[in-house]
Chain A
Amino acid sequence: MTKIDLGLGDLSDIVPASPMPAKPRVEARGERAVVDAVGRDHGFTKPSQPPPKLGRRKNPHAGEPMHQVSMKGPASVMSRFIDLCDREGAPYWQVIESLMDKADVG
């Protein structure tokens, strides 16, 4: 691109900012709270994007008839399975489905 003289002088006195160390989270949050409060006081409140939906994901099996399986197995395996369900925060059937999906079986 050909440079055009617009009479701005030598622009080399204006340089990109030097990288700044990140502010501690608490300080950054505090400053943002101040900025937001001023914005609110003056009616600058509208979010740019709709807030994310925080509800649980819709169950893809909703409406399907339910069936119950009683399962007996070695305590160590059962304990491992229950721990996995706790970690995933999901009911037993969802974890079984997820494991089958991962194994691409069934």
Chain B
Amino acid sequence: MPVISFASPKGGVGKSTSALLLATGLTAAGASVTVIDGDPNRTVEGWATSAAEPGFRWARLPSDDDIIDAIEAASEATQFVIVDLEGTANLAMARAISRTDLVVIPLQASPVDARQASRAIKMVMAQAKELRREIPFRMLFTRVNPAIATRDEKEIRSQFIEANIPALKTALNERAAFRAMFTHYRSLWDLEDDSVNGLTKAKANATEFVREVTQTIRDLRAAGQGE
């Protein structure tokens, strides 16, 4: 039932990769998942149609007029709905967010990404106010250097804390294994250990991400949000 949307008005921040990691992780753990692909590059669709056994349902984001109905129908069909939105400030993002239980806003640790992410935050908050309901969101740092946090990353994280902007503790690291999912059309959990460098660490990182998102959903439900 929970609808988790990956949204940012900027492209190339890791929306599709994080959406696919979450979808394949939840699927591997036995959950039923629908991915609605709003990325014009059809990244998730391309992966799902090429993978031998994607494990999740997928659909293209329909026309702007049908988005809300499509999300509601998917949430009645599977345990989780993941919406991968186009990296641009479009009407589809505004409408999809209105039916979202958790908005994940990915960004790389750069001031440009942070500024664009703040546009999404402002829109989510304004929409929540107008609709008089909570629309929970979490920032997600992507392509982070696993060895050392850059000065930009530290600075942006500290600004988020000061402004009470919630971020997932788990950041997705820069890992060759994440890219390998698209090379081999296999989920991270189906890749062979000897075929990709750093696969074990990538799996641990992605597992932590999937676990934190799932726990966030549970915490929001316990707090009466995200329903």
Contacts and interface: CB of A to CB of B under 8 A. Distances in A.
B30 A11 contact: yes
Chain B's interface size range is: 35 or more
Interface of A is mostly: loop
Interface of B is mostly: helix
Contacts of A6: 25, 28-29, 207, 210-211
Contacts of B64: 47-49
Contacts of B119: 42-43
A16 B92 CA distance: 23
Interface stretch (B106-114, B125-133, B139-147, B174-182): B125-133
B123 interface: yes
A15 B63 contact: no
Interface of B: 1-2, 9, 25-32, 38, 53, 55, 61, 63-64, 68, 72, 75-80, 86, 88-95, 97-98, 119, 122-123, 126-127, 130-131, 189, 207, 210-211, 214, 217-218
18 contacts: A4-B29, A6-B25, A6-B211, A7-B211, A11-B31, A14-B1, A14-B80, A17-B1, A38-B94, A39-B91, A39-B93, A39-B123, A44-B89, A45-B90, A45-B91, A48-B63, A48-B90, A48-B91
